Amino acid sequence: MTEALFPVPEACATTLEALLLDPLDPGRPAEAHLRACPACAEARVTYLAQEEVPVVLTPAGYFERLPERLLRKLPARPALHHRFRPFTWAVAATLLLAVGAGAFWAGQANRTPLVEAALPHPAELTEPADVPFQDHEEEAAQLQTLNPEEMSALLKRLDTPSAPTR
């Protein structure tokens, strides 16, 4: 029934039978056909992929000793303190000290403020400064309790200009 669905040429059928027997060495006529027919060559690759290969045994401790074997094969690298001479370290330390000191003195030169604030002397303060968050409703409530004579005296006193205080 499969032959009716997929007609296979006689050369391909004999090559496929030879591949089923031994995909590694199918014989000379099959090898010649595999070079000419890509479908049969692909079938050979599929058969080779499906063939079971015996497990290769590794010696005991092979993977445990692998890193040290690789490190032994690498060239030895000298230590950092052997690559740089003491003179190089002295030059680097001097340069670092010079940069640090220069940055420190540059910061010290710019520390003076442009504007200095001065506090007034207590003798100069004649009236208390306005305190933030102070409730001004109490002052307005005191004005409402004044009688008409006291209110007119207060308005006269507010109308007269007072001398500026220092």
- Residues of the chain above pLDDT 70, percent: 75
pLDDT at 64 over 50: yes
Q: What is the pTM of this model?
A: 0.31
- Distances 97 to 91, 107, 110 between C-alpha atoms, Å: 10, 15, 20
Query: pLDDT by residue (tens digit) across 70-95?
Result: 988 988 876 666 667 778 888 999 99
Query: pLDDT by residue (tens digit) across 30-51?
Result: 999 999 999 999 999 998 888 7
Instruction: Dig out the tokens for 127 from the structure.
Output: 């009236």
pLDDT at 136 over 60: yes
| Nearest CA among 6, 50, 32 for reference residue 15 | 32
What is the C-alpha separation between 79 and 77, in angstroms, rounded? Answer: 6
DSSP labels for the chain? -HHHHS---HHHHHHHHHHHH-SS---HHHHHHHHH-HHHHHHHHHHHHHS--PPPPPPTTHHHHHHHHHHHHSPP---HHHHS-HHHHHHHHHHHHHHHHHHHHHHHHT-S-SS---PPPTTT--SPPPPTT--THHHHHHHHT--HHHHHHHHHHHHSPPPP--
pLDDT score, position 1: 47
pLDDT score, position 94: 95
Contacts of 165 (CB under 8 A, 6+ apart): 126, 127
What is the C-alpha separation between 26 and 48, in angstroms, rounded? Answer: 12
What is the C-alpha separation between 136 and 25, in angstroms, rounded? Answer: 110
Across the chain, what does the average pLDDT equal? Answer: 81
